[in-house]
Structure 1
Amino acid sequence: MDNTARNGDLVRSAAVMAAAVLQFTFGALGGTGALGTSVGDVANSHPHPLLPPGGAFMIWNLIYLGALALAVWQLLPRQRTRAIHRRSGYWLAAAGALNALWIVVFGNELVPLSEVVIVLLLATLVMAWRALLTTGPAESRIDRTLLYGVISLYTGWVAVATVIGALTTAASLDSAPGDVALWTAWAVTAALIAAGLRFGQGVLGFAAATVWALAWAGTVADGALKVAVLVLAAAVVLAVAAGALRRQTRWLLG
C-alpha cells in the first residue's frame, strides 16, 4: 500500500476520533447550559404530549461512550486499512459533528433549525449503517458490538428523536400539535422503525434504542396514544424475535 493511501486512512481515522470527542464534550456541556440554555430546559419550554421525561436521555451516555470506543478501535493500525472503516468512517465523522452542532443550535433556542440538523444527522447515520451492510457481514464479535451495535443503536435513537423533534418544533412555533399531528408522528415513527428493522445485521441495537424511546414516550402519552406507543414497542420486539427465529431455523435446516 502506498503512503498516500496510508495517510488517507490516518486522516479519516483521526477525523472519526475528533468527532467522537467533540460530540462527547458538547453532550456534557449541553446539559449544563454552558453552550446556551440547557438542552433539557429548552425542550421542556416547548411541551407536547409525546415529550419524554429527562430520564429517557440517559441513553446518550451509552451512545457517546460507544462512539468513543469505536473511534479508538478504528484508529488502531490494523483497523485503519479495512474497507468497512473506509466506507463508514467519514459518515461517522459527519454524524459526530452534526450532533455537536445540534446541541449548540438547540441550546441557543433555534428549534426549527435544530430539526433540520437532526434530519441530516439521521441521514448520515443511515449512510454509515448502509456502508457496513454493503461491505459485508461482521467478521468478529468486536465488529458486531462496536460497528453494528453502536451505529444501529445510535440510528434507532435518532430516528425516534427526529419525530419527537418535529413536534417540539411545532410547539416552538406556537402551533400545538393536534390529534392528526400526533398520529402522523407515530405513523412516521412506525415507518422509520420498519425501515430500520429491514436493514438486517445490527437490528438488535436499533430495536433496543427504539423500544427505549417508545417506553419513555409512553409514560407521558394518554389514552389511545399510550396504547399506540405500547403496541408499537411490542411490534418492534416481535419483529426482532421473529427475525432471529427465522435465521436460527435457516441455520438448523441448512
Structure 2
Amino acid sequence: MTDTARAGALILVAVLQIAAGVVGGAGLWGESVGVVANSYPTLLLPGGTAFTIWSLIYAGFCALAVRQALPGQRSRDVHRRTGWWLVAAGLLNASWVLLFTHRLILLSQMVIVVLLACLLGAALRLQPANGWADRLLLHIPVMVYLGWVAVATVAGAATTAASLGAAPGVAVAIVVILLTGVLAALAVLRLPAVVGFAAAVCWALAWIAVNTTTPGVLVASVLAIAIVAGTVAFTVSATVAVRIERRPDRSLIAWG
C-alpha cells in the first residue's frame, strides 16, 4: 500500500509541475516567471533560452514517475529510498512558481533552497544503475534536475538580494560564480550520474556568460565551466581505468 501511495503521489506531482510551469511561464496566475526575474536584473541571471531546460527536466521526471509506478518497479528499494524525496521536490517546485510569480521573492528563495536539499537527498540515495533503463529513467533525470536547481538557487539568491536593493556587484558575482564551479566540481567527485549533473550546471553557467556584457563575469563563467568539465573528464577517465584494471585478462584465460 505504501509503495502504491508513493508511486501515485510521484505521478501526481509530475503532472503538477508541468501545470505550474505552464501557468508560471505564461503568467496565467500572477506575472510570468520571466517578467518577475527581469524586474530584478543581476549579473547571475542566465539568458532566457537557458530555461528551456525545464522541458527536459519535466519530461525526465514524468518518465521516471511512470516507470517507478510499474508493477515490476514499484517495490524496488531504490524507488523506496528516493521516491518521497522526489515527491517533496515536485511539490516545492510548484510552490516556488506560485510564490515567485506573485513576487514573494524571499519566501520563494527559501523554498528553492529546500527543493535543492530534497533533490540532493534523492541523489545521495540512488543506488548503482541496474542497466541503461536505470541510467536513462532514474539517474539522469534526478541529476539533471539537481544540477539545474543548484545553479538556479545561486541565481535566485542574487535575484532576492536585488529585490531587497542589494544586487551583487561585479566582484561578488565573480567570486560566487567561481565558488559555484568549485562546489559543483566537488559534488561531481561524490555524486552518481555526474555527466547529467555537470551538463546541467555547465548549461546554466554558459547562459550566464551569454547573458552578460561584463568581461569579468564572462571569464569567471567560462573558468567555472572548465573546472566542472575537467573534473568530470578526470572522474570518468579514472572510473574507466579502474574497470579496465579489474577486467580479467582474456588472453590468459584462453591460454591458461
Give the structure-2-normalised TM-score: 0.92
Q: Partner amino acid for 2:155?
A: I
Counterpart of 1:170 in structure 2 is 161
Matched, 1:45 2:39: yes
Counterpart of 1:57 in structure 2 is 51
**Mind listing any 5+ residue stretches in structure 2 that lack a counterpart?**
247-256
Kept in 2: contact 1:159–1:192 (CA 8 A): no
Tell me how far 1:28 sits from its aligned partner. 1.1
Q: Partner amino acid for 1:107?
A: T
Q: Partner amino acid for 1:220?
A: N
| Counterpart selection for 1:179 from 165, 170, 174 | 170
Tell me how far 1:250 sits from its aligned partner. 1.2
- CA deviations on 1:142-201 (whole Å, 9 max, x unpaired) are 111111100000000000000000000011111131234313422441243124202242
Kept in 1: contact 2:21–2:94 (CA 8 A): yes
- CA deviations on 1:55-87 (whole Å, 9 max, x unpaired) are 010000000010001000000011000000001
Counterpart of 1:240 in structure 2 is 232
Counterpart of 1:34 in structure 2 is 28
Counterpart of 2:196 in structure 1 is 205
Pairwise CA RMSD of aligned residues? 1.2
**Mind listing any 5+ residue stretches in structure 1 that lack a counterpart?**
1-6
Kept in 2: contact 1:126–1:155 (CA 8 A): yes
Counterpart of 1:13 in structure 2 is 7
| Counterpart selection for 1:229 from 218, 221, 228 | 221
- How many matched pairs? 245
Q: Distance in 1 between matches of 2:21 and 2:135?
A: 25
Q: Partner amino acid for 2:208?
A: A
Counterpart of 1:154 in structure 2 is 145
Q: Distance in 2 between matches of 1:243 and 1:147?
A: 20
Tell me how far 1:253 sits from its aligned partner. 1.9
Matched, 1:219 2:178: no
Large movers: runs of 4+ above 6 Å? none
Kept in 1: contact 2:42–2:167 (CA 8 A): yes
Tell which deviates more after alignment, 237-246 or 194-203.
194-203
| Counterpart selection for 1:137 from 91, 111, 128 | 128
Q: Distance in 1 between matches of 2:209 and 2:225?
A: 9
Matched, 1:104 2:95: no
Tell me how far 1:50 sits from its aligned partner. 2.0
Give the structure-1-normalised TM-score: 0.93
Q: Partner amino acid for 1:194?
A: A
